[in-house]
Amino acid sequence: MEQLTIKTSTHDYPVVIDQGLRFKLKSFLNKDYPSIYIITDSNVAPLYLDDVYNALKANYHVSYSIVPAGEESKSSRVYFDLMTQLIEAGVDRDGLVIALGGGMIGDLAGFVAASYLRGIDYIQMPTTILAHDSSVGGKVAINHPLGKNLIGAFYPPVAVLYDVETLQTIPFQEIRSGYAEIAKHSMIHTPPFWEQIKPVTLDESLSDATLIRDLIHGINVKAAIVERDEKEANIRQFLNFGHTLGHAIESELGYGKMTHGEAVAIGMLFAMELSEQYFSVTLPIEAFHNWLKRNDYPLTLPRLSVNQLMTRMKRDKKTKNQTIKMVLLKTLGEPVIIDMEDRSLRQQLEAFLEKMVIR
Amino acid sequence: MEQLTIKTSTHDYPVVIDQGLRFKLKSFLNKDYPSIYIITDSNVAPLYLDDVYNALKANYHVSYSIVPAGEESKSSRVYFDLMTQLIEAGVDRDGLVIALGGGMIGDLAGFVAASYLRGIDYIQMPTTILAHDSSVGGKVAINHPLGKNLIGAFYPPVAVLYDVETLQTIPFQEIRSGYAEIAKHSMIHTPPFWEQIKPVTLDESLSDATLIRDLIHGINVKAAIVERDEKEANIRQFLNFGHTLGHAIESELGYGKMTHGEAVAIGMLFAMELSEQYFSVTLPIEAFHNWLKRNDYPLTLPRLSVNQLMTRMKRDKKTKNQTIKMVLLKTLGEPVIIDMEDRSLRQQLEAFLEKMVIR
């Protein structure tokens, strides 16, 4: 069992990483919750809902909701439906929400917990590699038709319980999506984290030991940053490396066409190119590109409107005074936030997309 | 000018009470906000929106939304519409929301600010007496069809700017509604606050000086409590004196049939009757009843279903383990939270309602 503690302005919470945690949930509940409400999705429910439910039902009043898998469920409609279900189930202020699933469920159920009766406890039980990132740090949100995560809160969980056995059933596309965020953590962190990721191959040869090692490393990078800047006033924005363009591509393509991590991987490539030019440095773009290629990340894009992408990037939550801010790398492990000049950013984006179309 | 400072876990904020504050807004903004978004309603907009807008437009990028007056606007639909409008107006994380209006606007705009891009600054500009209560303390929310304020957050404003000139235009029904909360503050506070309220008559003879004196006293009671218990873990619940039944009556009648304060006044009468029985004490029920009567508070009710009221009271956010909690008075100025036994509560409610129907 691996465990670390995250400090927040309101409380500390543990991140526990172990096999079979879903069977031992009870020992991690530190309050006598009168009711527990599990929120999960249609992919995860058939696999693990029974395990979680059965681990609790003898001692607690447990209810649950299963929402359709996919980013579309991070909508205002599903959010309000869940509120209705919690009310009807009689969940009160002392209740607990368990977010059982990937990042979508963590964000959605986390925002439900953050705003139900002005906030109740919740536990993150991530079931994807990608969620190693989103489950730690207390950022919760739903989407707006005009952009991702525009409605939400900073609301830390009371625990993150990461049962790595649940990772064994996820498809390779999801593994790729998750490892993109691990790669991101490796690049904004002092080497040799990236050197550790570089040789990893995302296929049947990926061992549990390697996966857990990289997850823990990724969570440690994230935890160190969110502890120092809980509300994203400054350095927490480093975690958005690759996300400015990544989010724009995701929403421009329509959610679900490309995984979050795949879009962020492309965003990282772009941010690295910008960084090389901006700081006249050499970054391991080629090595990263090769790593993505070897691991079957999509590296071509349909023709996308640069205007639309720029508009979407301006809706990024880092944007201030209509100026797009990007996280660039002075060197590996040294991220900085740079105000981008519209015209040159547009030019470089055009050139980058051209390469991605023909590549 | 009267000013007090409220301490919260994240920041301190001033409550400023003065005449003509709406013309001097600029001097109270302590940041260089790139955009300001005013949220107000159809009653307040014709009276004060221009004043607020004009006080800011020379120095800031200002936009606004006018929502229909009335509790119906504290809905998920209006909430999401406002989110869309803020996004389209380009409000970013450094933006500011100004809630210009009564408690409905404060709650709605406050929850918009709390959840827009995971939270931006907002200022409360209350324009009713009732809002002396809701504007202080950071409780923000919207309603759910199954109950009031079920979706929301604890999210303190950056300032409360109370321009008492805006109180001169409010109708007497609103003055009654507001004074009910002042009377509540007087009863949960050590005497002689109630003795100060008892002779007040809510008609043309009500002077600005009396009103301001009572408002400041009420805000002080509230501020002292919320500072000690920001998230309503314990003593903040005292502020719900009269609200358990008050909320239930409000939603059972349908919002808008009776003002919030009028319903709370009836709730206070009931809570005082329960208190007399529970603690074998004598409270100034008769004096309070006379005060309500003299000031034209509605003191009769249509026949209401006791079952429905009990169900609604169980949805109260204080409810735990399906046990209704009521704030009772051991004596004037000494509130306590009591777990009510269902059967006796039901009996006493039946008897109370019987009196209210025939009274």
Same domain, residue pair B203 and B327 = yes
Interface check A60 vs B, CB under 8 A: no
At A29-60, the pLDDT tens digits run 989 999 999 999 999 999 999 999 999 999 99
Please tell me which residue, B169 or B125, carries the higher pLDDT value: B125
Nearest one of B193, B112, B313, B167 to A92, comparing CA atoms: B313
Position B320 scores a pLDDT of 78
Token pair of A60, please? 């607690």
Q: Average per-residue pLDDT in chain B?
A: 94
Closest A-chain CA to B233: A93
Does residue A169 have a pLDDT over 90?
no
Does residue A359 have a pLDDT over 60?
no
Mutate to test the interface with A, among B91, B92, B236, B311 (most CBs of A within 10 A): B92
Residue B11: CB atoms within 10 A of its CB come to 11
Does residue B188 have a pLDDT over 70?
yes
> Tokens 């978004």 label which residue?
B37
Please state the three-class secondary structure of B1-40 as a single string. CEEEEEECCCCEEEEEEECCHHHCHHHHCCCCCCCEEEEE
Is A317 within 8 Å of B93 when comparing Cβ atoms?
A: yes
Q: How close does chain A come to B141, measured CA to CA in Å?
A: 7
Say which of B94, B114, B232 has its CB closest to residue A153.
B114
Position A321 scores a pLDDT of 75
The average pLDDT across B254-265 equals 88
**Residue A343: which pLDDT band, with cuts at 50, 70 and 90?**
very high
Does residue B45 have a pLDDT over 70?
yes
B260 known member of a binding site = yes
Position B238 scores a pLDDT of 96
CATH number at residue A161: 3.40.50.1970
Q: How close does chain B come to A151, measured CA to CA in Å?
A: 5
Residue A120: CB atoms within 10 A of its CB come to 22
Query: What residues in B contact A118, CB-CB < 8 Å?
Result: 139, 141, 149, 152-154, 231-232, 317
Nearest one of B287, B264, B268, B293 to B198, comparing CA atoms: B287
Give residue A327's domain range: 172-358
Work out the percent of chain A whose per-residue pLDDT is above 70: 99
Distance between CA atoms of A340 and A326, rounded to whole angstroms? 7
The average pLDDT across B97-120 equals 97
Same domain, residue pair A91 and A33 = yes
At A248-279, the pLDDT tens digits run 998 899 877 899 999 999 999 999 999 999 99
Query: What residues in A contact B320, CB-CB < 8 Å?
Result: 34, 92-94
- Residue B262, amino acid: E
Please tell me which residue, B245 or B169, carries the higher pLDDT value: B245
Same domain, residue pair B157 and B202 = no
Same domain, residue pair B117 and B11 = yes
Distance between CA atoms of A230 and A169, rounded to whole angstroms? 32
Same domain, residue pair A186 and A69 = no
Same domain, residue pair A177 and A130 = no
Q: Domain boundary residue among A169, A185, A220?
A: A169
In the three-class reduction of DSSP (H, G, I as helix; E, B as strand; rest coil), residue A1 is classed as coil
Does residue A170 have a pLDDT over 60?
yes
Token pair of B69, please? 């007056």
Same domain, residue pair A248 and A144 = no
Q: How close does chain A come to B317, measured CA to CA in Å?
A: 6
> Which residues on neighbouring strands pair with residue A335, listed in sequence order?
A329
Interface check A232 vs B, CB under 8 A: yes
Same domain, residue pair B216 and B292 = yes
Distance between CA atoms of A310 and A343, rounded to whole angstroms? 10
- Asked if A169 contacts A259 with a C-beta cutoff of 8 angstroms, the reply is no
**Residue A342: which pLDDT band, with cuts at 50, 70 and 90?**
very high
Nearest one of A46, A25, A45, A44 to A36, comparing CA atoms: A25
In chain A the first and final C-alpha atoms are separated, in Å, by 44
Nearest one of A111, A152, A319, A146 to B86, comparing CA atoms: A146
Interface check A315 vs B, CB under 8 A: yes
Query: What residues in A contact B8, CB-CB < 8 Å?
Result: none
Mutate to test the interface with B, among A75, A82, A92, A134 (most CBs of B within 10 A): A92
Q: How close does chain B come to A177, measured CA to CA in Å?
A: 24
- Cα-flanking dihedrals φ and ψ of residue A161, to 5°? -115, 110
**Residue A358: which pLDDT band, with cuts at 50, 70 and 90?**
low
Q: Which of residues 115-154 of A touch B (CB under 8 A)?
A: 115-119, 139, 141, 144-147, 149-154
Does residue B168 have a pLDDT over 90?
no
**Residue B303: which pLDDT band, with cuts at 50, 70 and 90?**
very high
At B315-342, the pLDDT tens digits run 887 787 789 999 999 999 999 999 999 9
Does residue B293 have a pLDDT over 80?
yes
B169 known member of a binding site = yes
The average pLDDT across B346-357 equals 94
Q: What is the CA radius of gyration of chain A?
A: 20
Does residue B256 have a pLDDT over 80?
no
Closest B-chain CA to A112: B151
Q: Domain boundary residue among A132, A151, A169?
A: A169
Q: Average per-residue pLDDT in chain A?
A: 94
Total number of residues shown for chain A: 359
In chain B the first and final C-alpha atoms are separated, in Å, by 44
Q: Domain boundary residue among B123, B150, B169?
A: B169
The DSSP secondary-structure symbol of A264 reads H
- Asked if B333 contacts B281 with a C-beta cutoff of 8 angstroms, the reply is no
> Which residues on neighbouring strands pair with residue A121, listed in sequence order?
A96
Closest B-chain CA to A83: B151
Is A151 within 8 Å of B93 when comparing Cβ atoms?
A: no
**Residue B147: which pLDDT band, with cuts at 50, 70 and 90?**
confident
Distance between CA atoms of B107 and B82, rounded to whole angstroms? 13
Is A115 within 8 Å of B116 when comparing Cβ atoms?
A: no
Nearest one of A80, A125, A130 to A106, comparing CA atoms: A125
Position B208 scores a pLDDT of 86
Same domain, residue pair A217 and A159 = no
Interface check B92 vs A, CB under 8 A: yes
Same domain, residue pair A144 and A226 = no
Distance between CA atoms of A268 and B159, rounded to whole angstroms? 40
Domain count, chain B: 2
**Pairing label, strands A96-101, A147-154:** unpaired
Token pair of A221, please? 């990078």
Position B254 scores a pLDDT of 83
Interface check A310 vs B, CB under 8 A: no
> Tokens 């891009």 label which residue?
B117
Q: How close does chain B come to A320, measured CA to CA in Å?
A: 6
Nearest one of A56, A155, A179 to A106, comparing CA atoms: A155
CATH number at residue A260: 1.20.1090.10
Same domain, residue pair A87 and A26 = yes
**Residue B358: which pLDDT band, with cuts at 50, 70 and 90?**
low
Interface ipTM > 0.95: no
DSSP H helical ranges for chain B: 50-56, 76-88, 103-115, 131-134, 172-187, 193-197, 208-228, 243-253, 260-279, 285-294, 306-314, 342-358
Residue A32: CB atoms within 10 A of its CB come to 8
Same domain, residue pair A118 and A190 = no
The average pLDDT across B58-74 equals 96
Query: What residues in B contact A141, CB-CB < 8 Å?
Result: 118
Q: How close does chain A come to B142, measured CA to CA in Å?
A: 10
Does residue B58 have a pLDDT over 90?
yes
